[in-house]
Structure 1
Amino acid sequence: MSTHRDELVARLANAGRRTSDAAVMFHSALSARLDISVTDWKLLGLLETHGPLSAGELSQHSGLAPASITSAIDRLAKRGYVHRNRDTTDGRRVLVALDEGLLQGVDAQFEGFFRRLGALVERYTDAELDLLAGFLEQNAALMREATAELTER
């Protein structure tokens, strides 16, 4: 016999899967508009979030294999989305930087989602939002670990 907690955990797992599916589809549609792969789009997001990163750091943040990262950087550099620069503090190190003008106009693609999200968060208290944010942060960390595990096999 299933307990109430088992039912809640199952509900949470199903909600997580539907959220993941919706996010993948949203970002697939967005990357198609930009004429790049979803993976490349997400790597650009990592560069936007963290600033210039080495290929190794991109691999760590994404959980993708270094060879996949190198191929992605080559594709993105060829398209003018990123450029490679020598690290000013360590000339042996190469950093990948996002082209500053790249994301101009992309924010408009998110307006509909952000409007809906703004209305949704208004329904929650600060404590509930803190709880949700903590859960999502931990979930993202677990997903990065699982991604790295898959790419190591």
Structure 2
Amino acid sequence: MARIRIDLPEHFAFSTTITLLLSHINYGNHLDNAQLLGVVSEARLRFLKSMGYSELDVEGVGIIVADAALQYRSEAFHGETMKVEMSATEFHDFGCDLVWRMSEAGSGREVARGKTGIVFFDYRSRSKVTVPAGFRGHFA
């Protein structure tokens, strides 16, 4: 099976820090694989909020996660502060990829990288919609 490869942009539009809690840690005493996506979801919420949006209101429409891919680069441990960087790339008619990198804030040690495919969605009509021009404009 071919390994997943995530290419990162030269510049990230956003970064935030998140401290790993005990609930993020598994029996191996490191960041749990399922909890990693929870940390990234929190970063995505902050990313959208930094532009004045929420997951249910990006210029009047919401987003849904269509897919996700990630690569682990090193372990992360309880109490460490993660720097999560994120940017929107690979736009298409109805969505884009949110590419991210998570590193330990103090040392810069890369912990994981990935991308989350999002689709813009009208929750009233239950249908996908085109990428809002204002959102796309943040990354032009």
TM-score, normalising length: structure 1: 0.27
Between the two structures, name the one with larger relative contact order (CA 8 Å, sep ≥ 6): 2
Q: Determine which structure has more spread, i.e. the larger CA radius of gyration.
A: 1
Larger fraction in strand: 2
Larger fraction in helix: 1
